[in-house]
Structure 1
Amino acid sequence: MPRVLTIALLQISPTGTLAGNLAKGIQACRRAAELGADIALLPEMWSNGYALHGRPVEDWISEAIDTDGDFVVAFGKLARELNMAIGVTLLERHEGGPHNALVLFDRFGERRLGYAKVHTCDFDVERHLTPGHEFPVCTLDTAAGPVHVGAMICFDREFPETARILMINGAELILVPNACPMEINRLSQLRARAYENMTAIATCNYPDSVPGCNGNSTVFDGIAYLPDGPGEDGSRDMCLLQTDGAEGVFVAELDLDQLRDYRGHEVQGNAYRHPELYGMLCSGAVEPPFVRPDRRVVPMPERG
């Protein structure tokens, strides 16, 4: 029997309160478990429903919570009860400014991954957040066997380096909590990240009842070609799931054996690269012309 990982995207709208979001998130996770999910993913910053815009900064910063607080811990307990991994998202309390964060629990309720959004939207209110410093990958125990999982959050998807590093770090599946309109160009970004890295990518957005969002949550399996694929040279559509704008819990089945076999012989991912030529991408020595010289990012200090 092929090893199949069932992924649930919880495309649900926030309630306006932390307690309400906890209750609704738990209800959605229970529905995901009823649908046979091995892993459930919430949209971006579920703890406060990504309620940043049009509010005084000090108001929404005060809503930051701890990753070892009651809200997050409740999802860990639920993961163990349901025997299902859960990716919970939050505005995380952090010295110097909150993180836009994800905590991934395995089916035993153990924390396997903590990720803070690296590419915060510094052109907008997210400039008040503290960006993360790394792209970790964990080994997640599932009923389908161990799966190597990483994460990127919303704007992270717009930087090919994010998914590339996650792939190099071993990711087979990338989870993407999201909170923005998923139109054709952003959907194409996700398709491209899956294609070029031979990595499955599951994105959970808010439904169209949330201002500035439109659903269109997706799962791309990263398998662009199969011997019996319908297109030229066996090409196929990598999209396993694309939702509409409605609120709901949606599932897709990822064939892990098929993905691993594909990664073992195809030409994308970590094959045929020339990293010795890519130094200028990370040297910080890029000279003009620069597309937006006023938006160059100062390199982060080395961490001790």
Structure 2
Amino acid sequence: MCALDTAVGEVMTGAMICYDREFPESARALMLAGAEIVLTPNACELEINRLSQFRSRALENMTGMAMANYAGPGWGHSVAHDGIAFVDGRSRDTLVVEAGEAEGVYPAVFDLDALRDHRRREAWGDAFRRPAAYRSLTDREVREPFVRVGPDGGPVPGRSRP
């Protein structure tokens, strides 16, 4: 996390890597730490499911999300979402920019005043969270089929914990 000094004032910015994108907790932790914009370098194909994950991270955290990817056939699709799901009570697309597969510079311009206003008014993000209601998400042992086994037949460290 860091505060960026920009032309429109300070912007709290977080970063996560492409693998972090696969887990909602990564973006949530950054939002809870104060991130308004999350930057994500990426190194894999960005197909509809991964692009949808990233859109979801913006929506569920009311956070601007920008992801840069390698260019090339089957790659590309760097993307940014502003996290603003509704304007004047109407649903809207959060997409700010999506690149194709070609190399290029694709600016993502975020309306921070609109994002901050949206965060003050809407229910996602941190306003109505009830961590005690879902403590079982962090207080339980990882169970089959999600226990990962290493070459020695034992659990992979960090994957299975009480």
TM-score of the superposition, structure 1-length normalised?
0.48
Q: 2:145: which partner in 1?
A: 291
Which runs of no fewer than 5 residues in structure 1 stay unpaired?
A: 1-136, 228-232
2:145 matches 1:269: no
Q: Measure the CA separation in 1 of the matches of 2:156 and 2:84.
A: 34
Paired letter, 1:226: V
Q: Which amino acid aligns with 1:278?
A: Y
Amino acid at match of 2:146: R
Partner of 2:80: 219
1:148 Cα offset (Å): 0.3
Partners of 2:40 and 2:156 in 1: how far apart? 23
CA distance in 2, matches of 1:291, 1:167: 30
Q: Look at both structures and tell me which one has the larger radius of gyration over its CA atoms.
A: 1
Q: Are 1:143 and 2:7 an aligned pair?
A: yes
1:252 aligns with 2:113: no
- Please give the alpha-carbon distance, in whole angstroms, between the structure 2 residues aligned to 1:177 and 1:287: 29
1:29-108 to 2 correspondences below 5 Å: none
- For residue 36 of structure 2, what is the amino acid of its counterpart? E
Higher relative contact order structure (alpha carbons within 8 Å, sequence separation ≥ 6): 1
Equivalents in 2 of 1:291, 1:202: separation in Å? 32
**Unpaired runs of at least 5, structure 2:** 150-154
Identity %: 49
CA RMSD of aligned residues (A): 1.7
Aligned residue in 2 for 1:154 = 18
Contact kept in structure 1, 2:64 and 2:82, CA below 8 Å:
yes
Structure 1 position 208, deviation (Å): 1.0
Count residues in correspondence: 154
Deviation at 1:225, TM superposition (A): 0.2
- SS of the equivalent of 1:164 reads helix
Match of 1:249, SS state, is coil
Q: Deviations over 1:67-126 (max 9, x none)?
A: xxxxxxxxxxxxxxxxxxxxxxxxxxxxxxxxxxxxxxxxxxxxxxxxxxxxxxxxxxxx
The Cα shift of 1:297 comes to 5.2
Alpha-carbon spacing, 1:193–1:287, altered in 2? closer, same or farther (3 Å) = closer
